[in-house]
């Protein structure tokens, strides 16, 4: 395909399965996004617009290798036709950073409120969570830097500023924006035909109010609850352990809505568990962290446990020779990576892992929870999907696929090494760091900190030093990205990572190595190893050649 590439400044590799296109203006960004949504590249998985970039992800490394050449032949200058619907957001201006913003802008607090409500904002692009949208204003009066240290939790509904953008946090989440107020507007609601209240192209006006009018809660739907109670269950959760969630292979393709792909962190372990019990690879399973999970079968089940090696114990009420309940329970210890029969009344207990972190429990037929955006996965950052398990939950199973069969034991992977090696390629913003820091990423060992979770692994070690001051405009990120905040200590993004970020990415771990990262406990040591050749499979390419 031929066409103009005016507006494209450069095309950078983002790992082995994505490219980041840098453009001259937001209009060019939205134009390229619109073109790629209407006429996708072969192998294109997702398109995510940001301030000056468009992230294009691929279904495979092989597909991504052709993206740069294909993009250089695309016409990206055609203006999109945005939805300019006006959205009005009532706001109470009592944010804890209101005085700080006033000092930064040279306005009074009333002046900040007047400037925020006195202009029409335009929704430019989606942010790091579903319903979070970056809003651009009409005047430069409100420019406030991000916080030096992000808050660990920003309340849902917070109205905030960062740089020359404004936004509303759709749910409680970490964040580094300056808080000037709050709203009760539901920015993201899956019960609506269009879940996002504000979408790119919309116009937004904020209206100052003293308080919110709260509607009376509606009555519950007794008929639905009664029908729910009549449905048979399969498993009772006696104890969820530290954290147990429902996961499948995730929900890729919704990054433009702020939705991460999520899904199982150790995809290989999920696939093995499903294969053993005769499920398709896409079936939903349980992902448990650090053992402690206790389940009682309410109906006969066939399951398999894979992932972090641990002891499994099945107990059943003791039966006397006369057929009456006895006093001593019957115990057995089934193997991992093999089919397990769990009869009604029997209880399965997962011990602590001998190595690794996460185990996967597949039940024949797959776990029956409502899919959200095509997936049954729990997204711990956005809150999409079923909530993490709690004691007393009941789980139902889907019928087994016709013609499917239970398989024999699978061979588990080799035990983890003393130091886990993760292969990586240089990131799209490696040029934000001095040469010594880029070299130190690969030369040094890093330790997994206790603050790690499904969003990412926070690493301890010798801080990396930037060579470029200032803030990076928010841009799309991918699973496997090694992002470096101002502290200089890297964060390796995992499945529930934010879809955009404002810190430079120094490297990207190859997708096929992320199963190893999923099993790294606190204190585990990592060494990053440059992928063969020492360069990404797609090198940074200028948009035009002399």
| DSSP class per residue in 52-82 | SEEEEEESSHHHHTTHHHHHHTS---SPP--
Angle (CA) 381 383 387, round 5°: 120
Q: State residue 198's pLDDT score.
A: 94
| CA gap 461, 329 in Å, rounded | 49
Q: Please state, in angstroms and rounded to a whole number, the distance separating the CA atoms of residues 206 and 87.
A: 9
Q: Give the span between the Cα atoms of 508 and 490, in whole angstroms.
A: 11
CA nearest 17: which of 47, 48, 62? Answer: 62
Q: Do the Cβ atoms of 7 and 25 come closer than 8 Å?
A: yes
349 CB-near residues (< 8 Å, 6+ apart): 293, 294, 312, 313, 314, 315
Residue 220 confidence (pLDDT): 36
Q: Which one-letter DSSP state was computed for residue 402?
A: T
Q: How far apart are CA 362 and CA 271, in angstroms?
A: 9
Residue carrying the six token digits 């990053």: 528
Q: Looking at residue 533, what is its pLDDT?
A: 59
Query: Which pLDDT value is given to residue 72?
Result: 85
Structure tokens belonging to residue 20? 């980041």
- Give me 320's structure tokens: 């006397």
Q: Which of 330, 340, 341 is nearest to 306 (CA)?
A: 340
- Its sign, for the CA torsion 321, 322, 326, 332, is positive
Q: What is the pLDDT of residue 77?
A: 61
Sign of the torsion angle spanned by Cα atoms 252, 253, 254, 258: positive
* Domains, the chain, ordered by start: 8-82 (3.30.1360.40), 93-208 (2.40.100.10), 230-395 (no CATH), 419-541 (2.40.100.10)
Other beta carbons within 10 Å of 422? 21
Q: Give the closest residue to 263 by CA, choosing from 514, 524, 521.
A: 514
- The helix or strand, by DSSP H or E, that contains position 133, with its residue range, turns out to be strand 133-136
29 three-class SS: helix
Strand partners, 297: 235
Give CA–CA dist 97/417, Å, rounded.
47
Residues of the chain with pLDDT under 70: 1-6, 76-82, 213-232, 319-327, 533-546
CA distances from 311 to 270, 355, 362, 389, 469 (A): 18, 11, 17, 21, 51
What 3-state DSSP class applies to 515? helix
Contacts with 304 (C-beta within 8 Å, 6 or more apart), sequence order: 272, 273, 276, 277, 336, 337, 338, 339, 340, 361, 362
CA distance 248 to 371: 10
Residues 6 or more apart whose CB falls under 8 angstroms from that of 373 comprise 251, 254, 259, 384
Which residues does 39 contact at the CB level (< 8 Å), separation at least 6?
A: none
Region label for 3, one of left (φ > 0), alpha (ψ between -120 and 50) or beta (otherwise): left
**Interatomic CA distance for residues 188 and 171, integer angstroms:** 9
Predicted confidence at residue 79, as pLDDT, reads 57
Q: State how far the Cα of 532 lies from the Cα of 179, in Å rounded to an integer.
A: 45
3-state secondary structure (DSSP) of residue 256? helix
User: Which residue is listed with tokens 């109906």?
Assistant: 299
């Amino acid at each position: 395909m031929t066409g103009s590439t005016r507006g494209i400044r450069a095309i950078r590799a983002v790992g082995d399965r994505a490219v980041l296109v840098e453009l001259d203006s937001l209009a060019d960004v939205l134009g390229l996004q619109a073109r790629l949504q209407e006429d996708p590249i072969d192998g294109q998985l997702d398109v995510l617009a940001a301030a000056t970039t468009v992230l294009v992800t691929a279904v495979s490394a092989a597909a991504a290798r052709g993206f740069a050449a294909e993009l250089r032949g695309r016409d990206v200058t055609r203006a999109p036709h945005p939805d300019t619907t006006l959205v009005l957001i009532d706001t109470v201006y009592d944010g804890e950073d209101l005085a700080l913003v006033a000092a930064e802008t040279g306005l009074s607090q009333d002046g900040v409120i007047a400037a925020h409500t006195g202009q029409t904002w335009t929704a430019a692009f989606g942010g790091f969570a579903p319903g979070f949208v970056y809003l651009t204003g009409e005047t430069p009066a409100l420019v406030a830097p991000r916080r030096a240290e992000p808050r660990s939790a920003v309340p849902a509904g917070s109205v905030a500023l960062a740089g020359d953008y404004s936004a509303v946090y759709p749910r409680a989440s970490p964040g580094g924006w300056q808080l000037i107020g709050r709203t009760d507007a539901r920015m993201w609601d899956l019960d609506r035909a269009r879940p996002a209240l504000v979408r790119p192209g919309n116009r937004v006006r904020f209206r100052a109010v003293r308080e919110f009018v709260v509607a009376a809660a509606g009555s519950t739907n007794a008929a639905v609850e009664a029908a729910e109670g009549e449905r048979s269950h399969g498993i009772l959760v006696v104890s969820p352990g530290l954290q147990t969630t429902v996961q499948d292979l995730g929900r890729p393709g919704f990054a433009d809505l702020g939705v991460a792909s999520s899904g199982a962190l150790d995809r290989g372990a999920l696939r093995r568990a499903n294969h053993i019990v005769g499920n398709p690879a896409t079936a939903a399973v349980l992902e448990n962290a650090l053992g402690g999970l206790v389940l009682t079968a309410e109906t006969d089940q066939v399951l398999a446990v894979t992932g972090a090696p641990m002891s499994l114990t099945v107990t059943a009420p003791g039966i006397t020779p006369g057929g009456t309940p006895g006093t001593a329970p019957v115990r057995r210890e089934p193997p991992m990576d093999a089919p397990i029969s769990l009869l009604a009344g029997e209880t399965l207990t997962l011990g602590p892992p001998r190595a690794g972190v996460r185990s996967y429990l597949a039940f024949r037929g797959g776990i029956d929870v409502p899919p959200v955006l095509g997936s049954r996965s729990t997204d711990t950052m956005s809150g999409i999907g079923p909530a993490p398990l709690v004691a007393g939950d009941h789980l139902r199973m889907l019928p087994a696929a016709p013609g499917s069969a239970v398989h024999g034991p699978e061979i588990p992977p080799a035990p983890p090494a003393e130091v886990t090696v993760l292969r990586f390629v240089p990131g799209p913003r490696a040029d934000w760091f001095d040469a010594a820091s880029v070299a130190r990423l690969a030369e040094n060992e890093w330790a997994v900190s206790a603050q790690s979770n499904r969003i990412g692994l926070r690493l301890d070690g010798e801080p990396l030093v930037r060579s470029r001051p200032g803030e990076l405009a928010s841009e799309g990120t991918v699973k496997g990205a090694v992002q470096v905040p101002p502290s200089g200590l890297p964060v390796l993004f995992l499945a529930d990572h934010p879809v955009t970020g404002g810190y430079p990415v120094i490297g990207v771990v190859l997708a096929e190595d992320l199963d190893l990262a999923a099993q790294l406990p606190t204190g585990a040591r990592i060494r990053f190893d440059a992928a063969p050749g020492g360069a990404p499979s797609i090198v940074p390419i200028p948009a035009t050649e002399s």
